[in-house]
Structure 1
Amino acid sequence: MRKHRLDLFSLIAGGLFTTIAISYLVAALNDETVNGRIVVPVTFIVLGVGGLAGAVAAVARRSRTDRDE
């Protein structure tokens, strides 16, 4: 199988949404609630950091490819 590039933003977003889903599942099983006032801002912050990390990785990858040519 051919290797593909790591999509850092998709990896971070997938991990974030999996973590949110697991926290809601655990809270529902324990008759607890998850505070949406914390979840929503943290989601936006993590997605912003993930987007920034993905952009920096893309620029670094592009500059590496330009130097190799």
Structure 2
Amino acid sequence: MRKHRIDLFSLIAGGLFTVIAVLYLVAALNDQSVNGRIVIPVTFIVLGVGGLAGAVAAVTRRGRTDRDE
């Protein structure tokens, strides 16, 4: 099987949505509520940081392959 590059943004987004789903599941099981005023902005912040990290990783990866050739 060929190795492929890790898509950092997709990894962070998938992890974030998994954490949010578990948070809502645990809250529902404990008869608690989740404050959407906190979850939604934190989601956007984490996705923004993930996008930035993915862009930086892509730029550094591109720079590394240019030097190798």
- Asked if Structure 1 and Structure 2 have the same fold, meaning a TM-score greater than 0.5 normalized by the shorter chain, the answer is yes
Gaps of 5+ in 2: none
Normalised TM-score (structure 1):
0.99
Deviations 1:23-65 (A, max 9, x none): 0000000000000000000000000000000000000000000
Q: Residue 28 of structure 1 aligns to which amino acid in structure 2?
A: A
- Name the CA distance, whole Å, in 1 between partners of 2:16 and 2:38: 14
Structure 1 residue 26 corresponds to structure 2 residue 26? yes
Structure 1 residue 46 corresponds to structure 2 residue 46? yes
Normalised TM-score (structure 2):
0.99
| Residue 4 of structure 1: aligned partner | 4
Share of identical aligned residues, percent?
A: 87
Structure 1 residue 36 corresponds to structure 2 residue 62? no
Q: Which runs of 4+ in 1 moved over 4 A?
A: none
Q: In the comparison of the two structures, how many residue pairs are matched?
A: 69
Q: Alignment RMSD, CA only?
A: 0.3
Gaps of 5+ in 1: none
